[in-house]
Structures are given as structure tokens and as C-alpha cells.
């Protein structure tokens, strides 16, 4: 068991920032009400995420943001007199480990809710376990469409979907630049296929089709064969669906062989880690984001986040992933606050999914009704376009080819 604690860096944190063991994070026994994870003095959440392997920066920084939000609440007396704790387990971005961890968090650790899972394949494996236990599954770091199916009653999505991100990509490529030759490189699993299907659908809506497709195995950097498949199609732009290490390897190899289309990728990549991996070779790579810039202090939620992050870990640098973790933590806190002292899982879910509009310091999430009059389990539809500049920093892109400071 690992207890959630902060990293010592930004969204490109080093591996030794993995959450460390904390025996105090293990629950002793449930309170008289019998609600798992709810005690007289604390509420215990659980997180299974990647804290090792080529996607570790995502888990480390989601944890960092969640803990910054939880510790911010704890410094102010907790929620209705209860402090917030987070028990974490490393699944290394592997579906089988996610199942084992989820079962352990529910049955052994008796957590109140799950939060901050990382990835589509891991979430696909863990969600049936969570649903069977009727335990909330809060803010997974994935935009996969299956998590947004209306049959789920326990899943709360914070972010926009991959379909929305890839739609924005294709819209910008075709409208801003008039590009017609688009290829996709994707991770060969449910995450990659979700992004691939989103891009394919966006193209089909415009009467277009892919000129090439490449794949690579999850948790590897075996991208050379896929790169050659892409080059055969002579694309003007390539949409990349994967994690930061293999995509950085692909872009670096592409530049090495003078294959230089426009590269675009979705928010899951781990933006800061990708820029660090690419170094000077990252200039001109576009990334869609689902949250605001983590350094724009004119946005109230970002100002709150940076203050909470500094208080929790003075050495940490702001980043996109940890900001999403912070917003996830704040969203969970909002659900707890609405329940009062008599906390139950059903009340927690209702106070988020049934709340309609939730405003977290200016970051609005709307869990209102859809056209079929059923509740929407996705809070935000926002998608932002960013690009890496010559300094390895991200800049907002109002349109492709144009950036703002």
C-alpha cells in the first residue's frame, strides 16, 4: 500500500517522487453508520494509478494535485470535521494490476470512493469492479467514451472526451490550414482506439478519410514500424494518441529522418513530461488541453491551485496534470460538503451528478440534463489548443499558426 503524498516537481516529476508508505493511511474500522471509509475524524479515498513505468508522471502528478486539494481542506479543518486521506496503489498503467488494486482498495482498505485513476485500459478493467461495489469512481484521467455511457450510475467525469479533443484537432487542421491529408498513430489498446475512432469520426463528418495509420504496443517505445507506416501515406498532419515517452520517441525519430508533418496529441499525453522528453525538438507540436493554463494566475482556480500546491510541496512546479488532479480533489470536496455530517456514497454522488452547475473558483462544470432528459456524468466540455514553442514552453493557440503569449 502506498499513501498519497506529493512529488517534488512538475508534471515531469522524477520517479523518486512516487507516493511513499504511510501506515497512518490504513483505516482501522468503519464508523457505526457502516459506511466504508467514513470515520468520526476522517474520510478515506483510494487511487489506483501509474506510479511506475512509462506513464508514471501522470499518476504521480494526478496524486500531487489531489493531495494539494485535500491538504488545503485539512488545513481549514477538513469537511464537516473530517480530514481527507488518500490511499494509493501502483498499477503501472496495466489493466490486470488495476483490477487487483481496485479490489484491494474496496475490500481491504474499505475506501469511501475511488478517485484519479489514470488511463483508458485501466479504467475499462476497474469500472466493473467499482460498479459492482456501488462505489463512486471520480475523475478518471481519460476521455474515453465508454465512461460517458448513460448506464453508469457511479462514474463522475471531470474532463472533455477524446471525441471532443480530436474533433477540435480536425476542425483546426482543416479550417485554419486547409489540410486534407491526415494520419493517426495510436497506442494499440482501448485508449488508442478511442482516440483513433474519434479522429476517424471527425474526418468522416467532413467527407474525408485517413491517409495512413500506425500503431505501437502500450508501455513500450516500439514506434519505428508505425512511423514507417505513417510516412508511406505522406500526411500533412499526424494525430497522436499515446503517452509521453513513446510519442516523444516517435516525434524525435520522425525529425531524424526528415519526416516533418504537423504533430498533434491529446491531453492524456502528459504535456509537461512530453515537452521535457522532446527538448528542443518539441517546437511546433500541438496538444489539446481540457483545463486552463496552470500558470495563468488571472484565472481564480489556477491561483487557488498554485497556492495550495506551494503549501503542500514548496518544490513542486505547476503543471497541467496536477491542476486537473487539484480540480478533481476540489470537485470531490464539493460533493462531501453538500452531504453534511451524515455522509453516504449515494448522497456524495447526488451532490455532484445531481447538482447541475458546480463552479470551482471560476472553472464551471455542468452535470445538467442531456437531450434525452438523463443526467450527464461529464462536467466540462472545454477543449483548449496549445503549442510548444522554441523554449519548450506551452503557448495558447487561438488558431493554428497563431499563438498568444
- pLDDT tens-digit readout, 103-113: 999 999 999 99
Predicted local confidence at residue 399, as pLDDT: 83
Predicted local confidence at residue 2, as pLDDT: 43
Q: What is the mean pLDDT of residues 125-146?
A: 97
Predicted local confidence at residue 309, as pLDDT: 98
Cα–Cα distance measured from residue 189 to residue 212, given in angstroms and rounded to the nearest whole number: 18
Residues 6+ apart with CB under 8 A from 185: 213, 214, 215, 216, 223, 226, 227, 230, 238, 239, 240, 241, 242, 247, 250
Least confidently predicted of 22-26, 268-272, 375-379: 22-26
Least confidently predicted of 32-36, 89-93, 194-198: 32-36
Whether pLDDT at 16 is above 50: no
Predicted local confidence at residue 91, as pLDDT: 98
At 214, give phi and psi (nearest 5°): -130, 150
C-alpha cell at 110: 474499505
Cα–Cα distance measured from residue 335 to residue 21, given in angstroms and rounded to the nearest whole number: 27
C-alpha cell at 19: 507516493
Tell me the three state secondary structure of residue 198. helix
Is 85 in contact with 45 (CB distance < 8 Å)? yes
Per the DSSP assignment, residues forming a β-bridge with 186 are: 215, 241
CATH class for domain 2-160+294-366?
Answer: alpha beta
At 15, give phi and psi (nearest 5°): -60, -30
- pLDDT tens-digit readout, 145-193: 999 998 999 999 999 999 999 999 999 999 999 999 999 999 999 999 9
At residue 378's C-alpha, the angle toward residues 60 and 361, to 5°, is 70
Whether pLDDT at 14 is above 50: no
Residues 6+ apart with CB under 8 A from 198: 145, 161, 162, 163, 164, 165, 166, 167
- pLDDT tens-digit readout, 289-320: 999 999 999 999 999 999 999 999 999 999 99
Task: Judge whether 2-160+294-366 and 162-289+384-404 match in fold.
Answer: yes
Predicted local confidence at residue 179, as pLDDT: 97
Per the DSSP assignment, residues forming a β-bridge with 289 are: 384
Whole-number percent of the chain with pLDDT over 70? 89
Domains of the chain by residue range:
2-160+294-366, 162-289+384-404
Tell me the three state secondary structure of residue 184. strand
Confidence of residue 12 (pLDDT cuts 50, 70, 90): very low
Predicted local confidence at residue 256, as pLDDT: 95
Q: What is the mean pLDDT of residues 113-138?
A: 97
Cα–Cα distance measured from residue 99 to residue 195, given in angstroms and rounded to the nearest whole number: 23
Confidence of residue 216 (pLDDT cuts 50, 70, 90): very high
pTM above 0.75, yes or no: yes
Instruction: Identify the DSSP state of 242.
Output: S
Query: Please, where are the H alpha helices in 270-402?
Result: 271-278, 300-312, 320-339, 345-353
Cα–Cα distance measured from residue 322 to residue 77, given in angstroms and rounded to the nearest whole number: 23
CATH class for domain 162-289+384-404?
Answer: alpha beta
Residues 6+ apart with CB under 8 A from 110: 27, 30, 36, 37, 44
Least confidently predicted of 16-30, 174-188, 224-238, 316-330: 16-30
Share the mean pLDDT of the chain. 90
Predicted local confidence at residue 150, as pLDDT: 86
Per-residue DSSP letters for 224-237?
A: HHHHHHHHHT--SE
Cα–Cα distance measured from residue 121 to residue 58, given in angstroms and rounded to the nearest whole number: 14
- pLDDT tens-digit readout, 337-388: 999 999 999 999 999 999 889 999 999 999 975 554 445 899 999 999 999 9
Residues 6+ apart with CB under 8 A from 162: 142, 143, 144, 145, 194, 195, 198, 241, 266, 268
Is 82 in contact with 41 (CB distance < 8 Å)? yes
Amino acid at each position: 500500500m502506498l499513501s498519497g503524498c506529493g512529488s517534488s516537481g512538475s508534471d515531469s516529476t522524477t520517479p523518486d517522487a512516487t507516493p511513499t508508505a504511510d501506515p497512518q493511511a490504513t483505516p482501522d474500522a468503519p464508523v457505526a453508520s457502516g459506511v466504508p471509509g467514513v470515520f468520526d475524524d476522517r474520510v478515506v479515498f483510494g487511487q489506483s494509478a501509474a506510479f511506475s513505468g512509462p506513464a508514471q508522471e501522470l499518476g504521480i502528478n494526478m496524486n500531487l494535485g489531489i493531495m494539494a486539494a485535500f491538504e488545503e481542506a485539512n488545513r481549514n479543518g477538513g469537511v464537516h470535521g473530517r480530514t481527507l486521506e488518500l490511499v494509493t496503489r501502483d498499477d503501472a498503467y496495466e489493466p490486470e494490476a488495476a483490477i487487483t488494486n481496485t479490489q484491494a482498495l474496496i475490500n481491504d482498505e474499505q475506501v469511501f470512493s475511488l478517485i484519479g485513476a489514470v488511463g483508458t485500459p485501466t479504467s475499462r478493467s476497474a469500472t466493473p469492479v467499482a460498479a459492482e461495489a456501488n462505489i463512486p469512481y471520480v475523475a478518471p484521467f481519460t476521455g474515453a467514451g465508454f465512461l460517458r455511457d448513460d448506464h453508469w450510475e457511479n462514474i463522475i467525469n471531470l474532463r472533455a472526451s477524446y471525441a471532443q479533443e480530436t474533433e477540435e484537432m480536425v476542425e483546426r487542421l482543416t479550417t485554419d490550414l486547409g489540410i486534407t491529408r491526415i494520419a493517426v498513430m495510436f497506442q494499440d489498446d482501448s485508449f488508442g482506439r478511442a482516440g483513433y475512432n474519434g479522429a476517424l469520426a471527425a474526418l468522416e463528418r467532413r467527407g474525408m478519410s485517413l491517409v495512413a495509420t500506425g500503431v505501437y504496443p502500450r508501455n513500450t517505445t516500439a514506434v519505428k514500424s508505425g512511423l514507417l507506416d505513417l510516412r508511406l501515406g505522406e500526411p500533412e498532419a499526424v494525430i497522436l494518441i499515446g503517452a509521453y515517452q513513446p510519442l516523444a520517441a516517435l516525434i524525435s525519430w520522425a525529425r531524424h529522418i526528415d519526416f516533418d508533418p504537423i504533430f498533434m496529441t491529446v491531453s492524456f499525453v502528459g504535456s509537461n513530461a512530453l515537452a521535457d522528453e522532446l527538448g528542443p525538438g518539441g517546437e511546433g507540436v500541438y496538444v489539446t488541453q481540457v483545463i486552463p493554463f496552470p500558470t495563468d494566475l488571472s484565472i481564480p482556480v489556477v491561483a487557488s491551485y498554485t497556492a495550495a500546491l506551494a503549501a503542500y510541496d514548496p518544490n513542486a512546479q505547476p503543471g497541467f496534470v496536477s491542476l486537473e488532479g487539484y480540480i478533481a480533489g476540489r470537485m470531490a470536496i464539493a460533493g462531501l460538503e453538500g452531504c453534511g455530517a451524515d455522509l453516504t456514497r449515494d448522497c456524495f454522488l447526488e451532490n455532484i451528478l445531481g447538482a447541475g452547475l458546480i463552479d470551482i473558483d471560476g472553472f464551471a462544470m455542468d452535470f445538467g440534463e442531456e437531450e434525452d432528459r438523463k443526467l450527464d456524468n461529464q462536467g466540462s466540455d472545454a477543449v483548449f489548443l496549445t503549442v510548444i514553442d522554441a523554449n519548450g514552453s506551452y503557448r495558447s493557440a487561438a488558431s493554428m499558426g497563431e499563438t498568444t503569449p
